Amino acid sequence: MSHIKELIRNIEDLAANLFGKDFLLTWDKSEPELKQVLTVAEALETLYRANRSARCFESGLAISNFRDQSTRTRFSFASAANLLGLTVQDLDEAKSQIAHGETVRETANMISFLTEVIGIRDDMYLGAGHTYMLEVAEALDDGFQQGVLAQRPAIVNLQCDVDHPTQSMADLLWLQEYFGGLENLKGKKIAMTWAYSPSYGKPLSVPQGIIGLMTRFGMDVVLAHPEKYDLIPDVVEVAKKNAADSGGRFTHVHSMDEAFQDADIVYPKSWAPYEVMGERTELLKAGDRAGLAELEQQALARNAEHKDWTCTEDRMKQTRDGKALYMHCLPADISGVSCQEGEVEASVFERYRIDTYKEASKKPFIIAAMILTSRMQNPAALLKGLLKRDTIRKME
Q: What DSSP line would sit under 54-80, residue for residue?
A: ----SS-EEEEEESS--SHHHHHHHHH
CATH no., domain 167-360: 3.40.50.1370
Helix or strand (DSSP H, E) at 222: strand 220-224
CATH topology (fold) of 2-163+363-389? Rossmann fold (3.40.50)
* pLDDT score of 93: 77
C-alpha Rg value of the chain to the nearest Å: 21
Q: How would DSSP label each residue in 98-153?
A: GGGT--HHHHHHHT-TTEEEEEEEE-SSTTTHHHHHHHHHHHHHHHHHTTSSSS--
pLDDT averaged over 10-residue windows placed end to end, the chain, 396 residues: 92 95 98 98 97 97 92 96 97 72 91 98 91 97 98 98 98 98 98 96 95 98 97 98 98 98 98 94 92 94 97 98 98 97 98 98 98 98 96 91
Helix or strand (DSSP H, E) at 190: strand 189-193
* pLDDT score of 100: 63
Q: Can you tell me the distance from the alpha carbon of 293 to that of 290, in angstroms, rounded to the nearest whole number?
A: 5
* pLDDT score of 382: 98
Q: Can you tell me the distance from the alpha carbon of 210 to that of 205, in angstroms, rounded to the nearest whole number?
A: 8
Q: Can you tell me the distance from the alpha carbon of 262 to that of 266, in angstroms, rounded to the nearest whole number?
A: 10
State the virtual CA torsion across 219, 224, 230, 231 in degrees, nearest 10: -30
* pLDDT score of 201: 80
102 CA to centre of own chain: 29
Q: Can you tell me the distance from the alpha carbon of 167 to that of 295, in angstroms, rounded to the nearest whole number?
A: 28
Helices (H), the chain: 2-14, 31-49, 72-84, 104-110, 129-145, 165-179, 205-214, 233-246, 256-260, 274-286, 289-304, 313-317, 346-361, 363-375, 379-389
**CATH 3.40.50.1370 region(s) of the chain?**
2-163+363-389, 167-360
Instruction: Enter the pTM of the model.
Output: 0.97
User: Which residues touch 388 (CB under 8 Å, ≥6 apart)?
Assistant: none
